[in-house]
Amino acid sequence: MAQVILFNVTNGLIIGAFYVLMALGLSLILNLSNVINFAHGNFLALGGYLAFTLSTVLGYWGALLISPLLTALVGVLVERLMIRRIYNRDPVYSLLLTFGLAFVLQDGARFIWGPNGLPMGLPAVLAQPITSTLFFITWYRVFMVAIVIVTVIGLFAFLRYSRLGLRIRAGTFDLETVATLGVNVRHLRTLNFAVGCLLAGLSGVLAAGQIGLNPNMGDELLMPSFIAIIVGGVGSLIGTLFGGLLIGMAAALTTVFYPAASEAVIYAIMMAVLLLRPRGLIGEEGMMS
Amino acid sequence: MSTAIVATDEDRSVSRKTVMLVAIWAALLTVPLWLPLLGGYTALAGRVLVFGLAAMGLNMLLGFTGVLSFGHAAYFGLGAYGAGLTLRYLVHSTPAAIAAGTLLGGLAGTLFGLLIVRRRGVYFAMCTIAFGQLWYYLAYSWNSVTGGFDGLRDFHREAIGIPPLVLDITEGGTTFYYFLLAIFAAAVGLMGFLLRSPFGRTLLAIRENERRARFLGIPIERHVWLSFSISCFFTALAGTLYALLNNFADPLTLHYSLSGYFVVMTVIGGMRTFWGPLLGAAVFVMLQDYISSMTVNWMSFVGVIFILVVLFFPRGLLGMMRRRIAA
């Protein structure tokens, strides 16, 4: 039993880590641009597929490095060509736009890489279990969690200490004032969107090594990421971080005792939060209304 | 004074409105005559009515209250499952199935509306999406009752009435189409009545300027909640009809993609117009029927339609027509 629980705790940690990466990217875009990026799961898939193709040329490590950057580049193009046009319109249009984009990207991935699942090769060193008693914990799982931790710390440091990060955070609170102070808000939003897509691309590469590739691999992560944001509190990235870990853990632990409810439990948590603490666990008062 | 202004506005356009109403109802009543000539089939018209009603229900919230729900498939699907489960497990009665499904979807929306009524904009939308997916997973995983991924089968619509007076709608075709049309007409009549009432006018005031409406002493939250709830009832009613139309309910009727379709139907037809969503549903259903018969990559086409509508066509068909006439 102890081993079953440990197995599911590590699972929860890994699932939670994916939710966190996805949700942080979504949250960044939502906070600054007020856009729910429905296509975020498809940027994740894109990152994974790009890594799959690049790894034949650059090897795994090169692909791990380059493919998130390429995903971010695609993000920049998408933002410049389409999303930028609807910032000042009713939110219904941004939802429809990214929703349509999600369809196109998903179908595009299916067209280019085929409808069937593809395996992502891993370097031999990552594929081994860490010890024979803990056979279910491969080095890859440790590696994934480590990468996520480093990325999250890096992101928070970037937002806290770099000039660009400070501007993004300031823009979250009051974009007009930031624009008045002479910051090019258009560029700021583009870069911010790119950072969000970078995180999605990175989670795509990591997820590919864990669950393999298929055209709708991002879909299952999208809803939990929404919920992570709602639970953590809109407007707070720390909230999103804890929200993601919380629901990942909750889903994994429910699997131990009652597998059928593992999906339902995260929705139950969302409802409880909406009922008892509508602004989310760490959300700013007023951000959500 | 404001009523006087509204009245003159309506006077000016009253003849145009009458013409349009006559045209719409004449077209709907004569569908079995002209649709086959265009290569369509009556079930397609039934689908337009059902999706049209669902989108019109959504539009009460989206276009007339200015609140964005991106999760209306949940109430549509709950209506469908409510009707299907009633027919399969409880009673073999079509009216009971319609009533049960409508109540199930409507009440779920009413209760959930209470939780999110203070949220606005994208955050409101995000909560509605996430809540909608809850029902999708429930229908998906509660295999023994809902049939899981394969959907709920083994039920069919029953003839209505007591023996000498029986309306046999089991056969689909024209009789069933007129049955759908009758319910559609009743629902749409009620919706029009609600939107023209002081309550409906208050919703418009909230849409136009929520802060001002609040200063005027209008209880905003209560109105948004009521609007959400009523809109869910209409969409749930459409869902029950969908289950009857297909004798089938599947988890995809609960999926957020369908919510997206409802929104895009509304936008294609014209968000701020009463009949727009019906027109949008007609366009969308025909396009989807046509495209999915032509190519396996229909998702790309649908996605591109979404993008084009947003970027180049945001007012929708009726919205553009109205603007052209005004100009």
Model ipTM? 0.86
Band (A117; pLDDT cuts 50, 70, 90): confident
pLDDT tens digits, one per residue of A133-183? 766 778 888 888 899 999 999 999 999 999 999 999 888 888 888 888 988
How many angstroms separate the CA atoms of B63 and B266, rounded?
8
Interface test with B, best of A32, A83, A103 (most B CBs within 10 A): A103
The total of structural domains in chain A comes to 1
**Is residue A139 domain-resident?**
yes
Domain span at residue B126? 35-326
pLDDT digit string, tens, across residues B83-119: 999 998 888 888 899 999 999 999 999 999 998 888 8
Q: At how many degrees (to 10) do helices A91-113 and B121-141 cross?
A: 50
Predicted confidence band of residue A274 (pLDDT cuts 50, 70, 90): confident
pLDDT band at A285; cut points 50, 70, 90: low
B14 in a domain, yes or no? no
Residues of B in contact with A89 (CB under 8 A): 314
The span from the CA of A241 to the CA of A172, in Å, is: 17
Structure tokens at B28: 């709907």
Sign of the torsion formed by the C-alpha atoms of A51, A52, A55 and A61: positive
Read off the pLDDT band of B234 (50, 70, 90): very high
- What residue has token string 């009857």? B244
**A149 in any annotated domain:** yes
d(CA B13, CA A210): 62
Indicate yes or no: CB of A106 within 8 angstroms of CB of B307: no
Alpha-carbon gap, residue B214 to B218, rounded angstroms: 5
Give Dmax over CA atoms of chain A in angstroms: 61
The answer, for B111 touching chain A at a CB cutoff of 8 Å, is: no
CB spacing of A34 vs B311 below 8 angstroms:
no
Compute the Cα dihedral for B27, B29, B33, B35 and give only its sign. Answer: positive
What is the model's pLDDT at position A289? 41
The answer, for B260 touching chain A at a CB cutoff of 8 Å, is: yes
Mean pLDDT of A82-105: 90
| CA B283-B287-B290 angle, 5° bins | 145
Residue B208 touches chain A, beta carbons under 8 Å: no
**Does residue B61 have a pLDDT over 90?**
yes
Give the number of beta-carbon pairs within 8 Å between A and B. 122
Alpha-carbon dihedral B168, B172, B174, B175, rounded to 10 degrees: 20
Mean pLDDT of B168-192: 89
Answer yes or no: are the C-beta atoms of A251 and A15 closer than 8 Å: yes
CATH number assigned to the domain comprising residue B107: 1.10.3470
Contact B259, B71 (CB under 8 A): yes
pTM of the model: 0.89
Whether A251 is in a domain gets the answer no
User: Is the per-residue pLDDT at A288 higher than 50?
Assistant: no
On whether the CB atoms of residues B49 and B39 are closer than 8 A, the answer is no
- In this complex, which of A94, A103, A264 lies closest to B302 when CB atoms are compared? A103
Buried/exposed code over A99-116 (b: 16+ C-beta within 10 A; e: otherwise): bbbbbbbbbbbbeebeee
Query: Is the Cα dihedral A248, A252, A258, A262 positive or negative?
Result: positive
Does the beta-carbon distance from B119 to A288 stay under 8 Å?
A: yes
pLDDT value, residue B11: 59
In this prediction, residue A106 has a pLDDT band, given cuts at 50, 70 and 90, of very high
By mean pLDDT, which of B95-109, B219-233, B308-322 is the weakest? Answer: B308-322
Contact: A91, B121; criterion CB under 8 Å: yes
Write out the residue range of the structural domain in which residue A190 sits: 17-218
Report the 10 Å Cβ neighbour count for B295: 11
pLDDT value for A284: 66
The secondary element (H helix, E strand) that includes residue A7 is: helix A2-33
A287 within domain boundaries: no
Average pLDDT, whole number, for chain A?
87
Distances in Å between the alpha carbon of A204 and those of A69, A207, A236? 12, 5, 23
Q: How many domains does chain B have?
A: 1
Q: Beta-carbon neighbour count of residue A197 at 10 Å?
A: 31
Kindly state the tokens that stand for B107: 């009440």
Query: Does A272 lie at the interface with B, CB-CB under 8 angstroms?
Result: no
Burial class of residue A142 in the structure, from the number of CB atoms within 10 Å of its CB (0-12 exposed, 13-18 middle, 19+ buried): middle
